[in-house]
Each structure stands twice: as structure tokens, then as C-alpha cells.
């Protein structure tokens, strides 16, 4: 008895991973904080480390949000560019139970 392989239609698309985009947003916010904390004149009231911590908190969260929004945009574009394909299951040679 010959077994006919099962055919199914699937959607093929390239979806971005969200975590790397959000991590890059946080890193970009940290770099902006470094530039602002160490690029200007030192404030006698606060140390540069305290200023860096403040600016890191101010820029890391928006950077995270912008990274997530970029990943969502790329995900939306990948859904629009998705393709349909037909696949067939391979016969493993073993009888089905």
C-alpha cells in the first residue's frame, strides 16, 4: 500500500527578532547619555557619574520604545511581503499507527 504525502499551504515570511532591536535602542540611548554627560562642562553640584546615570535613565527608555516600534514596523512590512507556498510531508518509511 502506497501512502500519499499530505499537502498543506503555508505562509513564508522573514520576521524580525524584537529583542535585538530593543537592545540597540537602549545602547543608542546610553551612547547619547555618555555624549551629554562627558561632552559638556562639569556641573559642580553633580558628579559626571550621577549625570550619566540620570541621562541614561532619560534616554534608555525612549530608545527601547523606538527600537520596539522599528521592529513592529519591519514585522508589519514582512507580513505585507509574505508569500504562500505548498509543502508536502516526507514519507518516513514507517507505518502510521
The model carries a pTM of 0.70
pLDDT tens per residue, range 63-90: 999 999 999 999 998 888 778 888 887 7
- Can you give the pLDDT at residue 69? 97
Residue 78: name the closest of 26, 12, 4, 24 by CA: 12
What are 8-50's pLDDT values in tens digits? Answer: 887 777 888 999 999 999 999 999 999 999 998 888 899 999 9
Helix (H), strand (E), coil (C) string for the chain: CCCCCCEEEEEECCCCCHHHHHHHHHHHHHHHHHHHHHHCCCCCCCCHHHHHHHHHHHHHHHHHHHHHHHHHHHHHHHHHCCEEEEEECCCCCCCCC
At which residue does the C-alpha cell 514507517 appear?
Answer: 94
Amino acid at each position: 500500500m502506497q501512502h500519499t504525502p499530505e499537502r498543506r499551504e503555508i505562509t513564508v515570511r522573514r520576521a524580525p527578532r524584537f529583542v535585538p532591536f530593543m537592545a540597540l535602542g537602549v545602547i543608542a540611548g546610553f551612547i547619547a547619555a555618555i555624549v551629554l554627560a562627558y561632552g559638556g562642562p562639569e556641573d559642580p553640584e553633580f558628579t559626571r557619574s550621577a549625570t550619566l546615570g540620570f541621562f541614561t535613565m532619560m534616554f534608555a527608555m525612549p530608545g527601547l520604545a523606538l527600537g520596539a516600534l522599528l521592529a513592529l514596523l519591519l514585522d508589519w512590512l514582512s507580513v505585507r511581503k509574505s508569500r504562500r507556498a505548498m509543502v508536502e510531508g516526507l514519507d518516513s518509511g514507517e507505518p502510521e499507527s
